[in-house]
Homo-oligomer: A and B are copies of this chain.
Amino acid sequence: MAIKLFIVDDHYMVIEGIHTLLQNEKNIEWMGHATNAASCLAFLQTNRPDVILMDINLPDKSGIDLCKEVKENYPGVFIIGLSTFNQQSFIEKMMVSGASGYLLKNATQEELVEGIETVAKGKQFLSFDAALALRKPDNGNNRPVITRREKEVLELIADGMTNNEIAKKLFISSTTVDTHRKNLLAKFECKNVASLIKAAMQLNMI
């Protein structure tokens, strides 16, 4: 029985490309596509694909969130993350959110087909470069784990606010803000705010 495939991506070129690449695969049945999260969810109310190829950048919602939502409601649907970025953090997030695989948009036809067939069996599949990125133990792409409050303070620092200003805004003491600041510097292994903000932005945490 053919694998029923659905695609969520806001780029027509990519949708068409995948469609073409899979045209001659008799084992894969093209169910259609959505260009945003909302119409994907609408589609799932009346249809049940085996595999969804899902872009991680969607106009209305991140693929990571959509992935989580789909897996909660339809755990039998296997999801493959799709992106141009082979950043460890993205891939990890996608997999943590319940994806069964991750394909880069420069994947070859062979990788694409192999990926779809592999996850349809319930196994995991990572495209070559994605697997490489994940295997790198410590490439600086590792995000430090920061708390809600720390993230809040981080963003206010990035907005140019001083400890005192942040303290007033959050209704806490400026020494508390300072503690959060110091913890952020420690977690990011930075010696001052300049490098902190740079690091945080490079890791897409602001």
Residue of B at shortest CB range from A111?
Answer: B12
Which A94-128 residues sit within 8 Å CB-CB of chain B? 105-109, 112
Which of A39-47, A64-72, A156-164 lines the interface with chain B? A156-164
Copies of this protein chain in the complex: 2
**Contact mask for chain A residues 8-20; partner B; CB cutoff 8 A; 1 contact, 0 none:** 0011111111111
Which A16-53 residues sit within 8 Å CB-CB of chain B? 16-21, 35
Tell which of B11, B108, B109, B198 touches A84, judged by Cβ atoms closer than 8 Å: B11
Q: For A18, list chain B residues within 8 Å (CB).
A: 13, 16-17
* Docked pose: A131 CA to B6 CA in angstroms: 31
Q: 6 tightest CB-CB pairs across the interface, nearest first? A: A160-B195, A17-B17, A13-B17, A16-B17, A197-B197, A11-B105
